Amino acid sequence: MLTDDGKHLYVSWDEYHMLIERLALKISASGWEFEQILCLARGGLRPGDILSRVFDKPLAIMSTRSYRDKGGTLQGQIDVAKYITLSRGELAGRVLMVDDLADTGVTLRAVVERLRGMPAITELRSAVIWVKGVSNYIPDYFVETLSTSPWIHQPFEEYDGLSLEGLAKKFVI
């Protein structure tokens, strides 16, 4: 739910999983058949994993990074991994690329352009949970459009500031 200032969106684990399930239903309703899922790490890991399980398709992972300054809230230079990790074979055929959101769209566009240059990929579509109003890239599948550009506080972010010492304190009796 958005806060009163419209600058923050707080998402619980239940809401997060429900949004991924709605994304799966949208993809399924399209009738598009794909052979592999490529998730963009880190934000696309959880949605990619769930979609891989629901659709029973192999999961590949590509690491990307652009948010690093000011505690991970300011976008900087985009880093895209040279290699894609998958358990067998190569990324090929009809591929569904998955991330958590289209923020500015810069990362998604960069990855799509790179993947479209790979001759083994015959068709590429993209899926995210959220599309922000400022995004210059609109994925093929998404669940929610946000007219503004709030910072999305996803449930797993509770681990961003948690040290091993802090974790150990949780279990001290």
Task: Give the CATH number for residue 58.
Answer: 3.40.50.2020
Give dist(CA 131, CA 71) in Å, integer: 22
Give dist(CA 168, CA 172) in Å, integer: 7
What is the pLDDT at residue 38? 96
User: Is residue 25 assigned to a domain?
Assistant: yes
Tens of pLDDT, residues 62-89:
887 665 445 445 455 666 656 677 778 8
Domain membership of residue 160 as a residue range:
8-170
Give dist(CA 113, CA 115) in Å, integer: 6
User: Is residue 2 assigned to a domain?
Assistant: no
DSSP 3-state of 6: coil
Q: What is the mean pLDDT of residues 18-41?
A: 97
Could you give the percent of the chain with pLDDT greater than 90? 62
Residues with Cβ within 8 Å of 27's Cβ and at least 6 positions away in sequence, in order, are 51, 55, 96, 127, 141
Give dist(CA 150, CA 2) in Å, integer: 8
What is the pLDDT at residue 68? 45
User: Is residue 127 assigned to a domain?
Assistant: yes
Per the DSSP assignment, residues forming a β-bridge with 96 are: 37, 125
Per the DSSP assignment, residues forming a β-bridge with 67 are: 75
